[in-house]
Amino acid sequence: MRVFNEIRLDRGKKTPIYKQLYYEIKQLITFNKLECDYKLPSIRELSDLLKVNNSTIVSAYKLLEKEGYVYKRAGSGTFVKKIDNDIVDIEFINSDILYDFTNATTDSSLFPIDEFKELMNRVIDRDKGTTFDYQQSIGYLPLRKAIKKQLEEKNIFTSLDSIQIISGTQQGIDILTKTILDYGDIVITESPTYSGALYSFKSRSSRIIEIPVDRDGIDTTILEQKIKNLKPKVIYTMPNYQNPTGFSYSIETMKKVLELAEKYNTYIIEDDYISDIEFNNKKVNVLKSLDTNNRVIYLKSFSKTFMPGIRLGFAILPIKIQRKFLLGKQFSDISTSGFIQRIFELYLKEKMWDNHINKITNIYNKKYNLTKEYIKKYKPLRLRYYRPEGGLNFWFSLPDGYSSKKLEKYLRKRKMLIYSGSIFYANNNDTEYFRINISSIELENIGKSILILFEFIEEFMKDNSNKTLNHPINYFGL
């Protein structure tokens, strides 16, 4: 029963209480906090816990059953149903895997362990027992000041009150879905896009509208039509080194998206996970730096460029949603680790961060350029490739009709991991597209791993039984 204490119902919302309860339980199931065949509390138990009518619990359970999240056993109760997790096996671990092209986090050999250990000891010596106190939900003030200063160097000017410390971008997206989205609200996303964001939007039963991206970014003509007709709550974007394509918005596309958000009174979520890295000495523009009307909700993670295990990032929030977001953060995990925040504040203050970014920029550029070189030389003729502007994601397409889900399984049996493109689309339908990410592949293994990948793909394409899609899937607007 303890997990049900996380449920928060807001009687001030327009959404009926039973639907709010449905969303909350659905999220517990979706994020594996309730396992398959787990018996839900009885109607009386849950109504007593949440202080709601029995009829509210009955209606929520009926809706969960209708949507396929639970099942009933006569005389026994209501149980969690096994859901189709064809989506992403995020926790897949296999010590026999030789090459992992799914891991988007930094190669652990690049972690600044010695520096971090030194700062950790300094923080404990300096702050004594207060090091381990609960931190304010909004975040450690000196860290927010350090982030504000860093942002100003990127032409992003905001108030301290607008900066909210979070436990990574995924938490930021999850809190936003809980605080600004209601059942059936429309969310516009790029197509394809980050699977974790799609997962969060689905958990709130949002209606997802996908807009194709190309080498200049999101298609602004289609975007305007959809905004005008559908009036979305938010537009979710990754303007730099987009996941999974690697494309970046042109400055014209950025300005147009901001213009449309202001014209049609909607917010933009900017997911910035890697703009600190310059590829081929090309500086990128952050959408938030062009935002003069406070339309952009900016989410920044340090997981992909620092150490993923520290779970640290921040959000810049428009005034209207700051309080709601802060409450959502409090209900989510009270606060991000104060110990980690204090260490990272020193890391920024003493310019260790700048040195770290310079180091991994050099290595990431070598990885990116070497991968491009091997793709250009050795890519199978029938395999299509969409050259990214930078980043560590590479987006491919098998010949028409071939299944990338089958390719994913085929490679896994051969101790190699990739992601089928299906996870980057809202409907999760099979497609010819797939993504590789080279973040965790060591530089000296890049060439060998790409060659082996292409050899396996050649073998895969020789077997016509892998050509199972009846019609080409033209999701990708190129």
Write out pLDDT tens, residues 67-90: 788 888 877 899 998 765 444 344
Among 298, 332, 351, the domain boundary falls at: 351
66, 214: one domain: no
Q: Give the chain's mean pLDDT.
A: 89
Write out pLDDT tens, residues 258-273: 999 999 999 999 999 8
Arithmetic mean of pLDDT, 237-264: 96
Report yes or no on 259 lying in a domain: yes
311, 237: one domain: yes
Count of the separate structural domains present in the chain: 3
Structural domain boundaries enclosing 39: 2-80
Among 299, 316, 351, the domain boundary falls at: 351
What's the pLDDT score for residue 90? Answer: 41
312, 178: one domain: yes
Report yes or no on 209 lying in a domain: yes
Report yes or no on 305 lying in a domain: yes
Q: What angle do CA 52, 54, 59 make, to 5 degrees?
A: 100
345, 246: one domain: yes
Arithmetic mean of pLDDT, 350-364: 92
105 or 221, greater pLDDT = 221
Write out pLDDT tens, residues 201-231: 998 889 999 999 999 999 999 999 999 999 9
324, 361: one domain: no
25, 133: one domain: no
Q: How confident is the model at residue 421 (pLDDT cuts 50, 70, 90)?
A: very high
Write out pLDDT tens, residues 20-67: 898 889 878 876 778 888 899 999 999 989 999 998 999 999 888 887
Report yes or no on 89 lying in a domain: no
Report yes or no on 87 lying in a domain: no
266, 378: one domain: no
377, 425: one domain: yes
Arithmetic mean of pLDDT, 105-119: 86
d(CA 49, CA 52): 8
Write out pLDDT tens, residues 294-328: 999 999 998 778 888 888 999 999 999 999 999 99
**What is the CATH number for 381?**
3.90.1150.10
Report yes or no on 70 lying in a domain: yes
347, 359: one domain: no
Out of 79-83, 285-289, 411-415, which region has the weakest mean confidence (pLDDT)?
79-83
336, 389: one domain: no
Print the SS3 string covering the chain.
CHHHHHCCCCCCCCCCHHHHHHHHHHHHHHCCCCCCCCECCCHHHHHHHHCCCHHHHHHHHHHHHHCCCEEEECCCEEEECCCCCCCCCCCCCCCCCCEECCCCCCCHHHCCHHHHHHHHHHHHHHHHHHHHCCCCCCCCHHHHHHHHHHHHCCCCCCCHHHEEEECCHHHHHHHHHHHHCCCCCEEEEEECCCHHHHHHHHHCCCEEEEEEEECCEECHHHHHHHHHHHCCCEEEECCCCCCCCCCCCCHHHHHHHHHHHHHCCCEEEEEECCCCCCECCECCCCHHHHCCCCCEEEEEECCCCCCHHHCCEEEECCHHHHHHHHHHHHHHHCCCCHHHHHHHHHHHHCCHHHHHHHHHHHHHHHHHHHHHHHHHHHCCCCCEEECCCCCCEEEEECCCCCCHHHHHHHHHHCCEECEEHHHHCCCCCCCCEEEEECCCCCHHHHHHHHHHHHHHHHHHHHCHHHCCCCCCCCCCCC
254, 267: one domain: yes
Write out pLDDT tens, residues 384-399: 999 898 999 999 999 9
16, 144: one domain: no
Report yes or no on 93 lying in a domain: no
What's the pLDDT score for residue 212? Answer: 96
Arithmetic mean of pLDDT, 339-350: 93
What's the pLDDT score for residue 238? Answer: 97
Report yes or no on 11 lying in a domain: yes
Among 302, 330, 351, the domain boundary falls at: 351
